[in-house]
């Protein structure tokens, strides 16, 4: 198989990164995707950064062994902690979701006041603040951790009075902040986007990095001569360290995507060890 015909590897701590996978599948319909959701160790946002880095390396090795032609870290926490380390370790193109999301926020805001919500690790890293200010130092960034959101999504609780109250309490910090743009700094959060929009009202623009990441990925594949121009079959596979039935349920209920039973593959921990050095030639 030519390198350009190999699938795109995507990983997240759970099912939230499926929002990124879905955007990539929509914008790049000729590309196959292999998705890895680490549900057994989710959420990453409450764990030590060194543990998240170790998970990211293990999963990257697993995906490269499939093989895949590039990697997308569809997790803000793992992007903040591991992107630079993975780019230094592996030779395939590797993208995160923070820089595309930051660029979209800077392009959207009218008053240069941007809010960012994410997991505790992402917020503590100030990765979005740094990325936004690198693009425009005049921006004012208000960051806030919302650790309650990921467990809601993983349980499939996406709306209703209880969810709305949790979201309303978490976002109350922005009531007097003056932000006109809010970045969803976790790929789980877009699944709560209808509630978030309802709570914030029409004057605040809500930015999900999924669409922006898919656009940046397409540009990267063109530059790297890895964009698939063939008309062969497109195959999507989904690995999970958790219950495979829950991954299928998420795909079916949230994205209306029918998935064959053998397309979702449970994987036990610890992940197998892989000799990733043989992937060095994949450019």
As to burial, measured by CB atoms within 10 angstroms (0-12 exposed, 13-18 middle, 19+ buried), residue 160 is exposed
Q: 10-residue block means of pLDDT along the chain (283 residues)?
A: 93 92 95 95 90 96 96 95 96 96 97 96 94 98 96 91 97 95 94 96 94 94 94 91 84 78 88 47 26
pLDDT of residue 38: 95
Task: Given CATH 3.40.50.1860, say whether it is the number of domain 98-208.
Answer: yes
| pLDDT value of position 162 | 96
- The answer to whether the 3-97+211-279 and 98-208 domains have the same CATH topology is yes
Binding-site positions for substrate read 12-13, 44-45, 76-77, 187-188
Alpha helix (H) residue ranges in 147-283: 149-154, 161-171, 193-200, 209-223, 244-255
Closest alpha carbon to 75 in 13, 160, 151 = 13
Report the C-alpha gap between 224 and 222 in whole angstroms.
5
So what's the pLDDT on residue 273? 57
Query: For residue 19, how many other CB atoms are within 10 A of its CB?
Result: 28
Would you tell me how many other CB atoms lie within 10 Å of the CB of residue 150?
26
What residue segments make up the domains of the chain, in order of their start? 3-97+211-279, 98-208
Beta carbons of 227 and 4 less than 8 angstroms apart: yes
Distance in angstroms (rounded) separating the CA atoms of residues 250 and 269: 22
36 sits in which H/E element:
strand 33-37
Edge to edge, the sheet with strand 8-12 lists 94-95, 70-73, 8-12, 33-37, 236-240, 264-266
Q: What is the 3-state secondary structure (H, E, C) of 242-262?
A: CCHHHHHHHHHHHHCCCCCHH
Mark the binding-site residues, compressed into ranges: 12-13, 44-45, 76-77, 187-188
CATH topology of domain 3-97+211-279: Rossmann fold (3.40.50)
Q: What is the pTM (predicted TM-score) of this model?
A: 0.88
Annotated catalytic residues are: 75, 186
Gap between the Cα atoms of 216 and 199, Å rounded: 30
């Amino acid at each position: 198989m030519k390198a350009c015909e190999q699938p795109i590897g995507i990983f997240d701590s759970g099912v939230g990164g499926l929002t990124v996978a879905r955007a990539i599948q929509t914008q790049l319909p000729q590309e196959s995707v292999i998705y890895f959701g680490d549900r057994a160790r989710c959420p990453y946002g409450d764990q030590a950064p060194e543990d998240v880095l170790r998970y990211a390396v293990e999963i990257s090795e697993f995906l490269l062994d499939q093989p895949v032609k590039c990697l997308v870290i569809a997790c803000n926490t793992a992007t903040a902690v591991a992107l630079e380390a993975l780019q230094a370790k592996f030779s395939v193109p590797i993208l995160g979701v923070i820089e595309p999301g930051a660029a979209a926020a800077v392009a959207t805001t009218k008053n240069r006041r941007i809010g960012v919500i994410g997991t505790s690790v992402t917020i503590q890293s100030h990765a979005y603040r740094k990325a936004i200010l690198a693009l425009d130092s005049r921006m004012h960034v208000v960051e806030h951790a919302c650790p309650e959101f990921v467990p809601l999504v993983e349980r499939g609780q996406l709306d209703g009075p209880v969810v709305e109250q949790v979201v309303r309490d978490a976002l109350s910090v922005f009531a007097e902040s003056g932000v006109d743009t809010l970045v969803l700094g976790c790929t789980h959060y877009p699944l709560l986007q209808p509630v978030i929009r309802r709570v914030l009202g029409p004057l605040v623009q809500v930015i999900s990095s999924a669409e922006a990441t898919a656009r940046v990925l397409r540009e990267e594949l063109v530059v790297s001569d890895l964009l698939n121009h063939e008309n062969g079959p497109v195959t999507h596979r989904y690995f999970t360290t958790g219950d495979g039935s829950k991954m299928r349920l998420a795909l079916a209920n949230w994205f209306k995507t029918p998935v064959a039973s053998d397309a979702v593959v449970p994987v036990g921990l610890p992940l197998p060890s892989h000799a990733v050095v043989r992937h060095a030639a994949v450019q």
